[in-house]
Amino acid sequence: MKCPYCGSVDSKVLDSRHADDRIKRRRECEDCGRRFTTFEAVEHSPLVVVKKDRSREIFDREKILSSMLKACGKRPISYAVLEQAAADIENALVSDLDKEVSTSRIGEYVMDKLREIDDVAYVRYASVYRQFKDTESFMEELKNILNKRGYSVEDPDQRR
């Protein structure tokens, strides 16, 4: 580490602490004796999203959050829950160690999270994401949800 006062490259670390997502180091120049602080941060390579038309753009968690907010419109779901879900999705994508991720994979993660949070929000998102062509495909998805919840598809008022 180069001393900001004399330019010497000889310095010693006196103290190290974690500050936010960085490491704060207090150093002392071995030539001039002056002290200075440095910060070290882990350099993350950006996550790249591959869109349906094969174009690429940098991953943006705000886009996920925005789409989930639209799906949850007028539903009793707190913003904090959606923020945490978006963070969980981002962490899952980053931990997969792939530098590129398809929009379809992101969409599946979002649907999985929304399915855990709220059925109505899930169906809203799925209807746009899966581009249901007709009421039959929409009804099929609703039947799947009801079956998983233990309701009879023939008589929704009856639980199994």
Q: CA 124, CA 76: separation in Å to the nearest integer?
A: 15
pLDDT of residue 114: 95
CB 9 within 8 A of CB 26: no
pTM score, whole prediction: 0.65
Q: CA 22, CA 39: separation in Å to the nearest integer?
A: 6
The strand pairing partners of 102, in sequence order, are 50
Q: What is the pLDDT along the chain (160 residues), one digit of tens a residue?
A: 899 999 999 999 999 998 777 899 999 999 999 999 999 887 778 899 999 999 999 999 999 999 999 999 999 999 999 999 999 999 899 888 889 999 999 999 999 999 999 999 998 998 888 777 777 877 888 888 788 877 766 655 555 4
pLDDT of residue 27: 96
Residues sharing a CB contact under 8 Å with residue 82, sequence separation 6 or more, in sequence order? 65, 68, 69, 72, 117
For helices 61-71 and 103-117, angle between their N-to-C axes, nearest 10 degrees: 40
Sequence-ordered strand ranges (E) for the chain: 11-19, 22-29, 35-41, 48-50, 56-58, 100-102
**Percent helix, percent strand, percent coil in the chain, to nearest 5:** 45, 20, 35
Is residue 106 packed enough to be buried (19+ CB in 10 Å), middle (13-18) or exposed (0-12)? buried
Q: What is the domain partition of the chain in residue ranges?
A: 11-41, 48-129
